[in-house]
Amino acid sequence: MGKILVTGGTGLVGYHLKEVIPNAIYLGSKDCDLTNFSLTEKLIQTYKPSVVVHLAARVGGLLDNIKYPADYFDDNILINTNILKACRTNNIRRFIGVLSTCVYPEKVDNYPMSEDDLFTGPPPVSNFSYGYAKRCLAVQIEAYNKQFKTNYNYLIPCNLYGKYDDLEDKDKMHFLTALMVKIINTKNNTLNLLGTGKPLRQFMYAGDLARVIKEVIEKDITENFNVAPSYNYSIDQMAKMALEFLEKKYVITYEHPKLDGQFRKDVCNKKMLKLIPEFEFTDFNSGFKKVFKIIEKRLNKLK
């Protein structure tokens, strides 16, 4: 595989990736300011990797995206452009960019969305800037491949959850982690959630994405594709299943219905399963229970 460098290596996916590719170089925001091109190029020249897995991004929850749209666009455009340009100018053989299903249109005619739907409409209003910035990375990769004959590609994963999620910054916490924290901290047997519970979401165990990235590197797959399990549940279904898994009889209530966000954003995994036919996703039941136990232990240590 050669030397592998992972940006955003101290985040949720980065920690899971380290479990399956332990010898790669994992760097976080403290190691380099990727919004600065000179520092980014110096980073690539110092480590001289053969493969760059680009996970780094400015990320946050729905409210944070709504509050700081310009910051999300500026930072992500700079980060993506700098790392991609530094890789190209220093002849890095392989670059794998990890996007998000936020890049897809807010609405399409048919679901789940395929890779061909990427440019059929604007991203959701709730995270418009982030979605467009990440979509621009797809455009940049295709442009580099066309002009410079590189073999770079991107993956589009669905929503994630995992045992390494950030527990201290509520604005950056993924939905399922936030749900777990609320269940753990509930004192009166009432679980209060935002929105209406009706939106549909695909959630994937972050360790599954890490295993897909490993397969892409080992098999030198250069195609772009979605990464997501086949199931697609409503927020309410997931909350109820979670309580059932954990054998907790809480009452679920909803508030602030305008904070639902995009109603549906599930993506098709047919292309991925043709490229990696033997791959098996972690089912929601076992994945949730496994992560819940670890999140509970981590929360107890923070108290």
N-to-C CA span, the chain: 42
- Give bridge partners of residue 52 from the DSSP assignment: 5, 95
Alpha-carbon dihedral 73, 74, 79, 80, rounded to 10 degrees = 50
For residue 39, the Cα-to-chain-centroid distance in whole angstroms is 25
Q: Is the Cα torsion angle 55, 213, 101, 93 positive or negative in sign? A: positive
Q: Is the Cα torsion angle 145, 108, 71, 164 positive or negative in sign? A: negative
Helix (H, G, I), strand (E, B) or coil at 271: helix
Helix (H, G, I), strand (E, B) or coil at 194: strand
Which pair of tokens denotes residue 267?
Answer: 């993506």
Q: Which of 70, 80, 57, 69 is nearest to 125 (CA)?
A: 69
Q: How far apart are CA 144 and CA 140, in angstroms?
A: 6
Residue 130 near residue 63, CB atoms below 8 Å: no
| Catalytic residue of the set 15, 26, 130, 132 | 130
Q: How far apart are CA 210 and CA 14, in angstroms?
A: 8
164 is catalytic: no
Q: How far apart are CA 93 and CA 82, in angstroms?
A: 16
- Which residues, in sequence order, are CB contacts of 224 under 8 Å at separation 6+? 115, 138, 141, 153, 154, 155, 156
Please list the active-site residues.
130
